[in-house]
Amino acid sequence: MRRPQELINGSVSGRPYWSYTLYRGPKKEMVQVHYCGTKASSEAAAQKFLNEKVLGFDMEWPIHPTSDRLQQMIGLIQVASESQIALFHLGVHTGTTVDDILAPSLRYLIESKNIVKAGNNIWVADCPRLINFFGLKPRGIVDLTVLHRVVKYGATDPRKARGRCIAMAKIVEEHLFLPLNKDPNERTSNWSRGLNQKQMNYAATDAYAGVILYHTLDWKRRSMKPIQPMPEFKELELPIKLI
């Protein structure tokens, strides 16, 4: 497994927030962002992630949908590896059925048990939309709150290792040393319409935080004495095991 990404000194963007722009890929390259406004471009981008073992995962949708169209139920799906991020903008894809809108390789990424999808509270907040509206079977889901609690409390206070969701911004700041930008103007955007650069940066950063936190927390977990077990995938609905 690769080590966590190296944080670039200072803030590239000039803002005191954590962002994917502060990082470089395994070969020191800039992190690429693929914006996908059609099913065809989504398929091409999703294929770039098929050999990844771990992905950051997140989703966005309109707070106030204006119809029951699928594009209003899920506006955006974001995935991230160490070197690239894809923004699958389902909200502007054409069609009326799941097969019209969802790229086959994106379906594979979501349903593969061999590719970890790391995100915060996504089994409760995001995956039900994939299940209920798109008929998917998400697998390989890792909840970052659970992994954070195991790392922080597993060896010292097991009761706290089994607790409620913690805000992603707090976990990022604790482990990656800068806060996430949770500007409500971006957070509550209509994600089924065209996106501006701020919205794309917001969405890309959330997904990238997932993969970086996973690697950081897993490194800390493996450094524990005793080493605590990795939490089971959320879809298995198994209890947290501690040593």
Could you tell me if residue 4 is inside a domain? no
pLDDT in tens, the chain (243 residues): 334 444 443 343 455 899 999 999 888 999 999 999 999 999 999 999 999 999 999 999 999 999 999 999 999 999 999 999 999 999 999 999 999 999 999 999 999 999 999 999 999 999 999 999 999 999 999 999 999 999 999 999 999 999 999 999 999 999 999 999 887 777 778 899 999 999 999 999 999 999 999 999 999 999 999 999 999 999 999 999 999
The pTM of the full predicted model, rounded to 2 decimals, is 0.92
Packing angle of the helix pair 197-222, 144-153 (nearest 10 deg): 40
Distance CA 67, CA 191 (A): 14
Count of domains for the chain: 1
Residue 31 located in a structural domain:
yes
What is the torsional sign of CA 74, 122, 175, 229? negative
Classify residue 9 by burial, with Cβ atoms within 10 Å: 0-12, 13-18, 19+: exposed
Q: Please give the distance of CA 95 from its chain centroid, rounded to a whole number.
A: 26
The residue with tokens 């994939």 is 130
Q: What is the pLDDT of residue 5?
A: 41
Structure tokens at 35: 């914006």
Q: Are 172 and 18 in contact (CB under 8 A)?
A: yes
Inside any domain, residue 41: yes
Q: Please check whether residue 195 lies inside any domain of the structure.
A: yes
Residue 131 lies in a domain: yes
Query: Which structural domain range is residue 170 located in?
Result: 20-230
Q: What is the pLDDT of residue 7?
A: 42
In a domain, 44, yes or no: yes
- Kindly report the backbone phi and psi dihedral angles of residue 104, in degrees, each rounded to the nearest multiple of 5, phi listed first: -55, -40
Q: Which domain CATH number covers 204?
A: 3.30.420.10
pLDDT at position 57: 98
CB 91 within 8 A of CB 71: yes
